[in-house]
Amino acid sequence: MIKLLIAGYHGYGNCGDEAILRAMTSNIRNMAKDVEITALSYAPEFTKKEYKINSVGRFNVFAVINAIRKSDIVLSGGGTLLQNGTSTRSLLYYLAIIRTAKFFGKKVMLYANGIGPINGEKNRALVKKIIDRVDLITLREKLSEADLKSIGVAKPDITVTADPAFTLTPADKEQTDRIFKDAGIDNKGFTVGVSVRRWSKAFGGDDYIKKIAAACDRLAKNGKTIVFLPMEYPTDIEVSRLVAEKMSENAYILDKRYTPTQILGIIGRFDIMLSMRLHSLIFAAVQNVPMMGIIYDPKIEYYLKELDMPEVGDVRKELLDPDKIVKYSEEITENLTLYKEKLLKSSEIMKKKAKENDILLSKKLLDPIRKGKNK
């Protein structure tokens, strides 16, 4: 068996990161029956049970080193791991994993990574030094390629692919029927899914929360059912409730912890997705649900452009305009078939790109290891 270790931001309740792990493990299993998968996780018992793989605690230093030592390949990803926008400690953690893997002579792949921001000359020099030693790099957006090249990374093969979540399959209709029934949601009318998050750096502070509430109120008055879908459990529930409390019209909040495939199924029941969360937008694309994006990070802006879907505000530099949100909602509603046709074309391209992560993993790393083991 080929032993493969996945190092990512797993076990924290973030649906996007869990979706990535679900896609990675499913795709690798389907592609290669001779691979044994282990993942680092904040909640290793949950990860073992949920994905039917081996898992070790990400902060158990001796267990992590032992897992690296026993592996043949270390995958760093997916998601935006190499960045110090949240903290330099996070950046150093993932660099340490890669450095340790290379110390033990392991093959290393950055798998569908997002990169940046990486601030500080010492940090950028360290990233270049360590990443120049990895064996293969796939990145989920062109912006990340530009960031790596600006740092000076040049030695490994670099391919821009797409987020692994584009390859996910939704939960069956029976599960999503039960979820909507348990929440008391009548899903027979026109439904707008809403995914919001806290963003402390937003222009105007919490003003964006009021503006989203105002827009949702007007959509509800126009006969649309508003359903809030938290993507990070439980932190997104709080901000969803905050928005809903500022509304005068009725809205629903799906406040349970759902699996990525269940959330994918839920989003497939919406007619429009209004979101600040990257993976709710990606899930909408997978399910061919037209979307309106609120930008807080370059990755949101990038994928909206790639999917050719409208942005209805950028909280990095402006106050949200409820009129703009309502205007695009009406436009999508009136031209729903056109938007779906347009989204289907662009999402098919992204799905094809996402599959390249595993094709390259197999061709560049798994196949050579197999040949070496068979000698």
Other beta carbons within 10 Å of 363: 11
Phi and psi dihedrals of 197, rounded to 5? -140, 160
- Tens of pLDDT, residue by residue over 250-290, are 999 999 999 999 999 999 999 999 999 999 999 999 999 99
Which pLDDT score, from 0 to 100, does residue 224 have?
96
pLDDT at residue 125 is higher than 90: yes
- Whether 52 is covered by a domain: the verdict is yes
User: How does residue 93 score in pLDDT terms, banded at 50, 70 and 90?
Assistant: very high
User: How does residue 375 score in pLDDT terms, banded at 50, 70 and 90?
Assistant: low
User: How does residue 200 score in pLDDT terms, banded at 50, 70 and 90?
Assistant: very high
User: How does residue 175 score in pLDDT terms, banded at 50, 70 and 90?
Assistant: very high
- Whether 371 is covered by a domain: the verdict is no
Cα 13 from Cα 340, distance rounded (Å) = 30
Say yes or no: 152 and 193 in one domain.
no
| CATH assignment of the domain containing 328 | 3.40.50.2000
Say yes or no: 140 and 46 in one domain.
yes
State the residue for tokens 């609120």: 294
- Whether 78 is covered by a domain: the verdict is yes
**Which structural domain range is residue 243 located in?**
173-349
- Whether 166 is covered by a domain: the verdict is no
- Whether 368 is covered by a domain: the verdict is no
The count of domains in the chain is 2
Say yes or no: 153 and 31 in one domain.
yes
Which pLDDT score, from 0 to 100, does residue 211 have?
98
Say yes or no: 13 and 151 in one domain.
yes
User: What percentage of residues in the chain have a pLDDT greater than 90?
Assistant: 95
- Whether 233 is covered by a domain: the verdict is yes
Q: Is the peptide bond before 290 cis (omega within 30 degrees of 0)?
A: no
Say yes or no: 133 and 238 in one domain.
no
Give the DSSP letter string of 311-372: EEEETTTS---HHHHHHHHHHHHHTHHHHHHHHHHHHHHHHHHHHHHHHHIIIIIIHHHHHH
- Whether 168 is covered by a domain: the verdict is no
Lowest-confidence region among 38-42, 152-156, 296-300:
152-156
Which pLDDT score, from 0 to 100, does residue 18 have?
96
The residue out of 160, 183, 218 marking a domain boundary is 160
- Whether 71 is covered by a domain: the verdict is yes
Average pLDDT over residues 207-221: 98
Say yes or no: 245 and 282 in one domain.
yes
Average pLDDT over residues 194-214: 97
Which pLDDT score, from 0 to 100, does residue 156 have?
82
Cα 146 from Cα 162, distance rounded (Å) = 15
Average pLDDT over residues 51-77: 97
Say yes or no: 148 and 185 in one domain.
no
Cα 366 from Cα 374, distance rounded (Å) = 12
Average pLDDT over residues 127-150: 95
Residue type present at position 55: S
Which pLDDT score, from 0 to 100, does residue 283 have?
98
Full-model pTM: 0.95
